Chains A and B, each alone.
Chain A
Amino acid sequence: MASTLRAHGIRAELPSGWEGRITQLAPSMPTNAALRSGAAEIPAEVTRPFAHFANMALPPNTNAFGGGAVEHLGAEHSLICLIEYSEECAGTALFNKHRLPKKLSPRDFNRRGLQRIIPGQAGSQTFLTEAGRPFCLYVVVGSYRRLSTLTRQVNTVLRGIHVDPVTSA
């Protein structure tokens, strides 16, 4: 393994040539308009962490679902996004898969299974609950034609991702 990344209860051991980022955006402040609207109390925004892993240079401002990075995916590249949802989603029908997949099959990918359709690319989306935390695992490969090879590489990374249970609110 080339490097280890750990933050917000997510740990990833990445193979050589892969890099990653684990982010949690700062809550945005209520707008002046919202404050002027007279709402007695505006609840603070709660943000959740998300992680990106890729065998390419990750652009600085990559969106949770890979916007800003997928445009740069080459035929030999893959991007893995792991996005946490709010805790009330845990164990619900959509998130009823109770493990982070350690192995995807080429059959899990679809050329239309993308947040943003880019010709040649393919995507896979899995909703799951791991360690009591609900996540979406979204994987984009740069070339549908090279799906077998790219899926094998992605699986190597997935095997190195670990999620800790939530310890604080």
Chain B
Amino acid sequence: MLIVLIIGCVLLGVAVVFATALTSAYAQLERRVEHLSEANELSVPLELSARPTAVPTGVGGAAGRPAHDLSGLTLHGDARTIATVGVEHTTLLAFLSSGCKTCGRFWETLRNQGPPEIGPTTRLVVLTKGADAESPTELHRVADGVEVVMTTQAWQDFEIPGTPFFVLVDGPTGRVAGEGTALGWDEVRNLVALGLGDASILTGVDTSAMKPSSDAERETMVDQILMDAGIFPGDPSLYPLDGDTPNPEG
């Protein structure tokens, strides 16, 4: 009888801890969403959503939802449409603004170093709101030499909560493959690698041509599993400490 009582108490204790943790996590999530709806600029990077999924990311709807083609004006007044749906490649949409402080470092890299390396099958498109909500003069200053499409419509189509924000569109399926905010291009590259399941975007080493297709497929699968778990190339956990090195002689 005493044993049953003890087990009951333990189970009750576990249940209380679990419920507390759940309530706390929910409250935290709620605070975060409130913060997002209040502030146009995202100063804190959100978690990057990974694979196409029906699970909401908390911002901008859910990955897996339909994408849209883009239509707007360039900084020089050219009319521009960009196809993101029904194309072979993936498109990374970078939603930036001239006024947001975090966007400054993205503009600076684009101006000084050109587009970041995001893999041969991914195209970068930089978007700002239209002239109704942006300062073309300021944009000319920060985006000097960068092709920018000004389109408020894209903000509405993709339900962008603030800047900077990045959306990865899978061209063949015409669906959003990943989205989120970031503090720098490295984090954006993580988003692309996650969305495509391709760690070579981060390492710069394309091993697919060196290996039989089954090896390459297995490697892609392992990369994807690791990245889904938040382990990217270079993560210390991938490398054994000196003391952990297995002894071949047992």
Residues of A within 8 A of B (CB): 2-8, 14, 16-24, 26, 55-57, 60
Contacts and interface: CB of A to CB of B under 8 A. Distances in A.
A18 B79 contact: no
A16 B89 contact: no
A60 B80 CA distance: 10
Nearest to A57: B123
A3 B84 CA distance: 11
Q: Considering residues A2, A7, A26, which has the most beta carbons from chain B within 10 angstroms of its beta carbon? A: A2
B83 A21 contact: no
A124 to B, nearest CB: 23
A17 B71 contact: no
Given A19-B69, A57-B123, A60-B147, A3 B83 contact: yes
A4 B89 CA distance: 21
A21 B76 CA distance: 12
21 contacts: A2-B69, A2-B83, A2-B86, A3-B71, A3-B81, A3-B83, A5-B79, A7-B77, A7-B79, A16-B69, A16-B85, A16-B86, A21-B74, A21-B78, A21-B79, A22-B80, A26-B76, A55-B87, A57-B87, A57-B123, A60-B147
Which of A4, A7, A8, A21 has the most chain B CB within a 10 Å cutoff? A21
- Interface-central residue, B78, B89, B147, by most chain A CB under 10 Å: B78
Contacts of B123: 57
A60 B126 CA distance: 12
Interface in B16-74: 69-71, 74
A110 B28 CA distance: 65
A23 B83 contact: no
Contact of A2 (B77, B79, B85, B147): B85
Nearest to A60: B147
Nearest to B148: A60
Q: Which of B70, B83, B147 has the most CB of A within 10 A?
A: B83
A16 B68 CA distance: 10
A77 to B, nearest CB: 10
Closest A-B pairs by Cβ, 8 of them = A7-B79, A60-B147, A17-B86, A16-B86, A19-B83, A3-B81, A22-B79, A23-B78
Given A2-B86, A57-B89, A19 B78 contact: no
B86 to A, nearest CB: 4
Contacts of B80: 5, 19-22
Given A18-B83, A21-B78, A57-B89, A5 B147 contact: no
Contacts of B86: 2, 16-17
Nearest to B74: A21
A74 B230 CA distance: 36
B78 A3 contact: no
A17 B69 CA distance: 9
Nearest to A6: B79
With most chain B CB atoms within 10 A of its CB, the pick from A6, A19, A26, A55 is: A19
Contacts of A21: 74, 78-81
Contacts of A6: 79
B83 A17 contact: yes
B14 interface: no
B7 interface: no
Nearest to A25: B76
Contacts of A23: 76, 78
Contacts of B70: 3
Interface string B165-186: 0000000000000000000000
